[in-house]
Structure 1
């Protein structure tokens, strides 16, 4: 997320004719988790399917905190990460949680070398993923904060750095390669906008070098990172944010990396102050992509703490088979950070109430 200074579960199970499924069916948070509905995730055409061949539309939240707490030597999670907090998310009838990660904290380098980095950070993320999965929730792991060279990962960069991003994804993929309920979101909000799709796909060998001539460090393109994930032996679904802070996905099909597993999906981020923020734009730019590959709105939100805008976004997504993840399950001032909740027991803000009610209406 690019618009607020601090960067950015949920149990969805449906009992229909005695069979659990993920999607637009009526759901019960009291039913036992049907874990088979989130295992074996894979892409087929423009659909995300589970191991039973059932369509899975990602409907969930972002759980911000793990991208910034560790690098500030202030902990790992922002707020509780225990079973009760996950149950609160699950009560909103969702099936996925996006967990932003910090490159340095995972790799234990450049400022992440504190009590909360390295093994402590990795183990905490593993434990959290296991907890999410145990509640029937898909975990989406996202490289959110990164930095080149010896710089600390204290914010968003325009593109993943060639220095560390490949090592990061090789390590993350190696850690979760046996868990098909985990999706890898390779990079949050690429925004080397003047360089376009060639930079996004292929990266660059040095600072300010074509095709990434606007970026002051060597860039790891999406093709390189896909190769690292597959080289680690991980067949997990890979999610790719478009460029323009993930708001532009109209050109991704022309620059889609090669994947031997054919397990790629696309993510767009949509806010009321985004460039593409109308249903007409969605129909023109997003719908053609969603007809070819699975698409999710990896972040949706609005800056007025209301839900009129996201209502229209979710309605369009419902009609076009697109999933969406609300930003974010955190308790910051809803006027400056689109917080879904005012309390970690699941008490919604006005913004969150609209999101929650929409999911409950299925």
Structure 2
């Protein structure tokens, strides 16, 4: 199904309303999935977008956005599709960001909907604009991220395609002396529902000689379920590439975004998010205003949710270290309980523990060996470890962290020994499920990992597990799922049944449960 325009609605509204880089990092830079400052401190964006190019006199917005504890502002600029923002104006925007201790994400809005929206600019033209205002940006690499072009392709095919055009724009900026972190938006009006950015992100990242490119997804109606959100974020985590939610809303004309999951998953994974937008929307999408008439004392319901709600900016934002860092929250979570191990195989194990508590909420848990080696991270109080060595004794503990980055003391140590190879005691395959996200009335289990532990290839597999009483499967992917009473049977899809020895695959499912119930499925078994 072709999504309705997302940021296009915002665009039309404003029309009617008045790994370390290959070269030495000189400021904000990426390392794997993380965004770091020049001093190596991790930086997680928390902020909003401000439509400066249409409301150039609303400069008080910078201080107001900061007053609500944002650490980043994404600033809308134009190179000529609207009245162009000059070198002096861009320099003033950067100055306002610095005065208010905000990291400045500068975006060129001219490219919005290219190929589908009349008057839209190409990414090559966007690169030319950045080169024209280079004097306002050089030397500001500690403070500025250059978002090359907003939603640079609509839903129609264009030539050159998104990947080629984006790579060319990156190279053009690098060739012209830009050492900044660069941010690139997805096509399909930013929502990437055809997965063009997801599937070509590595090639685009590799095209950057500085290896300093951040990928931005805009989450509106395409992202209306927890499964869609977690699956997209999982893809970038698996690829080891940096992702931010560069725009999102709580409602939109193309559907109802699941902002609760967007924010919770971003916090638990250390992913930045930037809401759309501060003020000035019109033409039917006024509900996206976070304050009324640019008045910080008149927060809308969307503004209250974004800034002051669960996993919101006030609770999770940490000021950039270039401005001295810091957070109002300095209390760490309580230590988790001692982990217990189950579903032990030659290469993995499932750990569960008593959850920690925190005054603003636990964001996630990190699992380590007692020698300090990281084994994995999770948003919940359980994890399925993979990639362990066979017939090896492990001693592990868990630390909790809150949204402000405070880390708990280590849990008591748990000990277990992985099985020897050759089938894990006679079984042909193993299965283990990990809760990817959950809320009061349901949860997503993703992934359920299936591993062929036999010495020969398999052509099919079947996983069974037990649902807690009152739970109902509401959706699944990468498997054919049937339910009899509380017993769930998941069989391979046509494309993932064949597994070589020690190879694996995964599937996922979403379920509902009674309010207040926190139980999850258990007893995963596998046969092939």
- Does the CA-based 8 Å contact 2:226-2:258 persist in structure 1? no
Q: Which has the higher helix share?
A: 1
The aligned residue for residue 360 of structure 1 is 314
Which of 284, 291, 295 is 1:341 aligned to?
A: 291
- Does the CA-based 8 Å contact 1:250-1:286 persist in structure 2? no
User: Are residues 335 and 354 of structure 1, via their aligned partners in 2, closer, same or farther at CA, if it must alter by over 3 Å?
Assistant: farther
The aligned residue for residue 13 of structure 2 is 6
Distance in 2 between the 1:144 and 1:86 partners?
A: 19
Which of 343, 348, 351 is 2:302 aligned to?
A: 351
Query: Map of 1:105-120 to 2, 5 A cutoff?
Result: 112=83, 117=84
SS in 1 for 2:201: helix
Distance in 1 between the 2:100 and 2:203 partners?
A: 36
Query: Map of 1:66-81 to 2, 5 A cutoff?
Result: 66=53, 69=54, 77=56, 80-81=58-59
SS in 1 for 2:172: helix
Distance in 2 between the 1:288 and 1:81 partners?
A: 38
**1:123 Cα offset (Å):** 1.1
SS in 2 for 1:235: coil
Distance in 2 between the 1:40 and 1:61 partners?
A: 22
The aligned residue for residue 329 of structure 2 is none
- Does the CA-based 8 Å contact 1:341-1:349 persist in structure 2? yes
- Does the CA-based 8 Å contact 1:270-1:301 persist in structure 2? yes
**1:252 Cα offset (Å):** 3.1
Which of 34, 44, 62 is 1:57 aligned to?
A: 44
**1:230 Cα offset (Å):** 1.0
Query: Map of 1:151-230 to 2, 5 A cutoff?
Result: 157=120, 160=122, 162=124, 164-180=125-141, 181-195=143-157, 199-202=161-164, 221-230=165-174
- Does the CA-based 8 Å contact 1:132-1:138 persist in structure 2? yes
Q: Which has the higher contact order (CA 8 A, sep 6+)?
A: 1
Q: How many equivalent residue pairs? A: 281
User: Are residues 361 and 161 of structure 1, via their aligned partners in 2, closer, same or farther at CA, if it must alter by over 3 Å?
Assistant: closer
- Does the CA-based 8 Å contact 1:186-1:239 persist in structure 2? yes
SS in 1 for 2:198: coil
The range that moved more, 169-178 or 349-358, is 169-178
User: Are residues 189 and 285 of structure 1, via their aligned partners in 2, closer, same or farther at CA, if it must alter by over 3 Å?
Assistant: same
Offset from partner CA, 1:141-170 (integer Å, 9 cap, x none): 1111259xxxxxx9773x6254x3332132
Distance in 2 between the 1:288 and 1:93 partners?
A: 30
SS in 2 for 1:299: strand
Distance in 2 between the 1:334 and 1:354 partners?
A: 22
SS in 2 for 1:104: coil
User: Are residues 194 and 251 of structure 1, via their aligned partners in 2, closer, same or farther at CA, if it must alter by over 3 Å?
Assistant: farther
Which of 162, 168, 180 is 1:236 aligned to?
A: 180
User: Are residues 246 and 191 of structure 1, via their aligned partners in 2, closer, same or farther at CA, if it must alter by over 3 Å?
Assistant: same
**1:361 Cα offset (Å):** 2.8
TM-score by length of 1: 0.70
Distance in 2 between the 1:334 and 1:188 partners?
A: 20
Which of 88, 99, 110 is 1:134 aligned to?
A: 99
The range that moved more, 253-262 or 91-100, is 253-262
Which of 246, 252, 258 is 1:298 aligned to?
A: 246
Regions of 4+ moved over 6 Å? none
Tell whether 2:210 aligns with 1:261: yes
The aligned residue for residue 266 of structure 2 is 317
Q: Which has the higher strand share?
A: 2
TM-score by length of 2: 0.49
- Does the CA-based 8 Å contact 2:279-2:291 persist in structure 1? yes
**1:253 Cα offset (Å):** 2.2
- Does the CA-based 8 Å contact 1:169-1:228 persist in structure 2? no
Offset from partner CA, 1:13-49 (integer Å, 9 cap, x none): xxxxxxxxxxxxxxxxxxxxxxxxxx92111111100
**1:322 Cα offset (Å):** 1.4
Which of 198, 213, 217 is 1:250 aligned to?
A: 198
Distance in 2 between the 1:145 and 1:289 partners?
A: 27
- Does the CA-based 8 Å contact 1:329-1:340 persist in structure 2? yes
- Does the CA-based 8 Å contact 1:48-1:57 persist in structure 2? yes
CA RMSD of aligned residues (A): 2.9
- Does the CA-based 8 Å contact 1:139-1:183 persist in structure 2? yes
User: Are residues 226 and 333 of structure 1, via their aligned partners in 2, closer, same or farther at CA, if it must alter by over 3 Å?
Assistant: closer
Distance in 2 between the 1:290 and 1:172 partners?
A: 34
